[in-house]
Amino acid sequence: MRTRPRWTPARGVVPAAALAVVVVLVTVGLARGLWLDNLHNGVLALACTAVGGYVLHQRPGHREGRLFLATGVAEAVLFLGRQVGHAPGGPGSAWWGWLGVWPVAVVLALTTLAVLCFPDGRLPSPRWRPVAGLVVAVAVVCAVLSALWPVEYSSVDVLTAHPVADAAPPAVQAVWSALAHPSYVVSQVLWVVAVAARWRTASPGTRRQLGWLLLAVLPAGVALLVGLVGWGSPRAGVLAAALVPVAAGLAVVHGQHAGARAALSWLSRARRPGGDLAGELTRATGTALDAARVVLWSGADTLLAVGVWPDPDADLAPTTPAAVHAVGETRDLVSGGVRVGVLAVEPGDDPLSLAQQRLLDDLAAQATLVVEHLGLAAAVRHRPATRPVPELTPRERDVLALMARGLSNTAIAAELHLSVKTVEPVVSTVFGKLGLQPDTRDNRRVLAVLAYLER
């Protein structure tokens, strides 16, 4: 059983329609000429909208994707408005120029919220809610002032007249000067503080995502510095800033399983002395998918936990496939047309993306091989009737417990600080006490483990 992210054609149409509108707005704006001081708004509009659409395709309903999409649309309107306002001509130029000015506060607020909520679409903590509310309130006040009076026309080089008022009253101009530009600086400081606060309490998966964002900020910062020093212009830096939303979108979708290398290298760790196949697989799955919990269950009708991540406080009781499938993401492990186990994943804060779903499919295939390697597939089909477990010595119980973890004789010897020649007779004695004779159909080691698990 698998639970796909909720996606409907209607939800797919909205991002596609938004991207189409943004492409048209930017194209129409560029047709009026190349104004380098405004070019970054067009580039950011395309980048933010494309990234927002991609995030929403991979993670339907993701809040960060919605913020990116809204930012891109607002940037596109701002870009076209400034293009028209800088080179006026034709009916409605004054109103288009107006749209190139007052949405600045909206764009800044959306960008700030996107940074505050990166990467999962949630604020770092409930204590940030008043901050987010203040950002929205200031943006609304600034947008209303700029929409009603020409308080910012001179600073953005828009040549058209304000369509609503010829000049701003002194009181309005004073409020604008005290509120607008200081809020721009404060917003950028908030970006840094929010990322630092998120990093301090983040999981390894979230820190990887933040790392992607910071790596994109670095070249943009270098380009800004070079532009200011070399040409006295920030143009190169603001154009390079388009890398930031692209990296952020990739981080939202792929950053959590950028640790997929761990999912591919778990077997090499499991083969070390003391390695645990099932345990390493569940750990790799949890790390790659940033999951809350991963359990590898073995069995057909009755499931036994053979691998759990993170380590539980107590052993998990046997359960049924129906109970396991009722929670989180699950994949049936099938061998020869028979279910031999289930790989169950409890996602973290967000449901798995489409890319993570595909990664989980691959990990489930590996989990099937693990179960088969341990011999549980054959044991489930051919194991004998349950028999009482005879009394074992403490040493024999220790060895059997390590066998239940999937350890080889060599690994058991390393774990108990014994030689392999000392461990092998103990293993043979355990087999004898359990009445397990050599059989070409069944793996005596696995049947011993099953006897141990069913005590």
Query: Each residue of 110-122: pLDDT tens digit?
Result: 999 999 999 988 8
Q: Is residue 191 domain-shared with residue 214, that is, in the same domain?
A: yes
Q: Is residue 71 domain-shared with residue 92, that is, in the same domain?
A: yes
Residue 1 lies in a domain: no
Q: Is residue 79 domain-shared with residue 101, that is, in the same domain?
A: yes
Greater model confidence, 301 or 75: 75
Residue 437 lies in a domain: yes
Q: Is residue 237 domain-shared with residue 148, that is, in the same domain?
A: yes
**Helix ranges restricted to H, 374-419:** 376-382, 394-404, 409-416
Q: Is residue 372 domain-shared with residue 426, that is, in the same domain?
A: no
Separation of CA 27 from chain center: 32
CATH number at residue 409: 1.10.10.10
Span 278-291, pLDDT tens digits: 888 888 888 778 78
Span 150-203, pLDDT tens digits: 998 888 888 899 999 999 999 999 999 999 989 988 998 999 999 999 999 887
Integer CA distances (angstroms), 360 to 236, 251, 296, 331, 369, in order: 41, 18, 13, 8, 14
Residue 3 has pLDDT above 50, yes or no: no
Q: Is residue 339 domain-shared with residue 247, that is, in the same domain?
A: no
Mean pLDDT along residues 55-80: 93
Q: Is residue 25 domain-shared with residue 159, that is, in the same domain?
A: yes
Q: Give the pLDDT confidence score for residue 451 in this predicted structure.
A: 62
Residue 417 gets which letter from DSSP?
T
Domain end position, chosen among 236, 256, 276: 256
Residue 65 lies in a domain: yes
Question: What domain range is 409 assigned to?
Answer: 394-453
Long-range pairs for 28-37 at CB < 8 Å and ≥24 separation? 28/80, 28/83, 29/79, 29/80, 29/82, 29/83, 29/84, 30/83, 32/83, 32/84, 32/87, 33/83, 33/87, 35/82, 35/83, 35/86, 35/87, 36/235, 37/157, 37/235
Q: Is residue 218 domain-shared with residue 153, that is, in the same domain?
A: yes
Q: Give the pLDDT confidence score for residue 199 in this predicted structure.
A: 92
pTM, to two decimals: 0.67
Task: For the sheet with 293-298, list strands across it.
Answer: 304-309, 293-298, 338-346, 329-335
Only one residue has tokens 């107590």, namely: 314
If pLDDT is split at 50, 70 and 90, which confidence band does 140 have?
very high
If pLDDT is split at 50, 70 and 90, which confidence band does 258 have?
low
Domain end position, chosen among 225, 256, 287: 256
Q: Is residue 14 domain-shared with residue 131, that is, in the same domain?
A: yes
What's the number of domains the chain is made of?
A: 3
Q: Is residue 67 domain-shared with residue 93, that is, in the same domain?
A: yes
Mean pLDDT along residues 38-58: 93
Integer CA distances (angstroms), 434 to 261, 426, 431, 440, 450, in order: 41, 12, 5, 17, 11
Q: Is residue 180 domain-shared with residue 240, that is, in the same domain?
A: yes
CATH number at residue 305: 3.30.450.40
Residue 207 has pLDDT above 90, yes or no: no
Residue 264 has pLDDT above 70, yes or no: no
Residue 301 lies in a domain: yes
